[in-house]
């Protein structure tokens, strides 16, 4: 067993406001489907969202804060919407829960068996 201990005495505490990253983003492989600009947008949105996941930064503000052009922002937003990570209705963004039952079947992580079946020419 590996014993972990802090490297520094500066221990991170979860802030009282709503702002955190769900570990399932990595554990369920969603991070592998997110482009770098989409990851930056997602990090921004989970940081600024309220307890319901809502924020209303304008495109101009998001582009400026993340150093993105309009095309990159649109692609990043589409990437996150397609994966079921956010909803967007101008000017509002909503960060969505990562619960599998709320994602469409194509957004669900595949099992190893499904991946192997796909590789062999079958369907998941």
Here the CATH number for the domain that contains residue 88 is 1.10.10.10
Please state whether beta strands 86-89 and 92-95 pair in parallel, antiparallel, or not at all (unpaired). Answer: antiparallel
Q: Tell me the pLDDT of the chain (124 aa) as tens digits.
A: 777 777 677 666 666 665 567 888 888 888 999 999 999 999 999 999 888 889 999 999 999 999 999 999 999 999 999 998 999 998 899 998 887 665 544 445 556 666 666 667 665 5
CB 109 within 8 A of CB 30: yes
DSSP 3-state of 81: helix
Provide the domain count of the chain: 1
Phi, psi torsion values for 92, nearest 5 degrees = -95, 140
115 within a domain of the structure (yes/no): yes
Range of the domain at 34: 24-119
């Amino acid at each position: 067993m590996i014993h972990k201990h802090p490297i520094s005495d500066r221990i991170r505490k979860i802030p009282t406001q709503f702002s955190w990253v769900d570990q399932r983003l990595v554990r369920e492989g969603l991070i592998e489907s997110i482009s770098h600009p989409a990851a930056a947008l997602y990090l921004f949105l989970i940081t600024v969202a309220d307890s319901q996941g809502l924020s209303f930064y304008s495109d101009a503000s998001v582009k400026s804060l993340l150093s993105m052009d309009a095309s990159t922002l649109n692609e990043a937003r589409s990437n996150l919407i397609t994966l079921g990570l956010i909803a967007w209705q101008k000017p509002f963004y909503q960060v969505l829960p990562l619960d599998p039952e709320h994602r469409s079947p194509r957004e669900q992580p595949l099992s190893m068996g499904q991946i192997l079946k796909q590789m062999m020419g079958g369907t998941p």
